[in-house]
Structure 1
Amino acid sequence: MDFGDATFVIVLIGLSYSAWVINNWIRAKNGYPLEDEFGGKTERSDTVETKALRQENRQLHDKLDAMQDRMVVLEKIVTDRGYSLHDEIEALRDRQPNNGVPLNVKYGEKA
């Protein structure tokens, strides 16, 4: 192909235009502002559906923050209470039973 030929110039312009169209298609698909032919940006207008999704997203983030706060409190309860609970269980194991009737059943025997 001869670089001075008009065909090369037309192919180059076609490739540039195609790349611009593909670039704008990708930007529109992902919600970015679009470029016009003079390099300016065109913002997308929010639709009713987009506004509803943003509000739902905000509510879910608030709910998640509240759940994280609750999780922190529960973790503190479990970790602070865990050691004393272990001590209480061991104290119950060490204590001799003083009431009830022994069953005299050995492990592994059938009744």
Structure 2
Amino acid sequence: MSKKTLVLGASLKEQRYSNIAIYRLRKFNIETVAIGLRAGMVDDVKIHTDLVPFTDIDTVTLYLNPQRQVEYYDYILSLKPNRVIFNPGTENPEFYKMLRDQSVEVEVACTLVMLGTNQY
């Protein structure tokens, strides 16, 4: 089963968790796409700055604080992901409800820990 993942809030800065997550996802051979504020490459993943209508997204992993997420609600819902991971600092009960109302699984967890413990 594909776990194609969108990293939303991707950063080119190596010390950022979103950047580390891209490397780890690719290490596990998980197809990865990314959207961030600045275009560039992380490993073999292109960071887009526009809302690309990606297809077959299984997971969206968020690296945006709740206030920044608001502008992406409709976009994320339009992707029809199977789940959305809210990494530490991204917790957003308002968005949890919207996702669950569309039968999207909500995980309040850390992508890096999930990958490291084979729970991804």
Q: TM-score, normalised by structure 2?
A: 0.18
Q: Which has the higher helix share?
A: 1
